[in-house]
Amino acid sequence: MTKEYIGVKKVTAWEEDRHGQAGYAVKYEDGYVSWCPKDAFEKSYLCVGDSGVNKINIDTVQLMMGNVQSNQLDEKTTHVKSTALTGFVTHEVSSCVDPANYDQELGTQIATHRIQDKLWGHLGFVLQWALNGIKR
């Protein structure tokens, strides 16, 4: 019986053409090297920086946020929706006390920052998984 699996690997890769096809040479932690077509590689992997740097940075978080939409919900509330590059959707709101003080730009900044914080945590989880695998 076959089953479906998901997995996360940290790899080192460099662009390389093979037989006229764009792709990446991929080196795994155990030293194994393979080659992957460009589209398949870029669908599976997100660049998090230079080799040996095991951290998530703000550029990666902002890239992963993907499409961000902001709208005013009522006289004092801003709603922000982020559709990440993975298709994962995150919603946040920001409200003020007095509608006379409402500022959609400020509300968007606050709600967007909250979404960034959530994505930072999610990406940290994924990087930790890639670095250490699953320990049972």
Average per-residue pLDDT in the chain?
94
DSSP class of residue 100 equals G
Q: What is the pLDDT of residues 19-78, one digit of tens each?
A: 999 999 999 989 999 999 999 999 999 888 777 778 899 999 999 999 999 999 999 999
Tokens 């930790």 belong to residue = 128
H or E element in which residue 17 lies: strand 12-18
* pLDDT score, position 61: 94
Q: Report, as an integer, the average pLDDT of 116-128.
A: 95
pLDDT category at 109 given cuts 50, 70, 90 is very high
Nearest to 18 by CA among 4, 35, 34: 35
Domain boundaries, the chain: 12-45, 61-128
Q: Is 115 helix (H, G, I), strand (E, B) or coil?
A: helix
Nearest to 13 by CA among 4, 33, 87: 33
* pLDDT score, position 67: 97
For the chain, the helix, strand and coil percentages under 3-state DSSP, each to the nearest 5: 35, 30, 35
* pLDDT score, position 6: 86
* pLDDT score, position 53: 74
* pLDDT score, position 54: 84
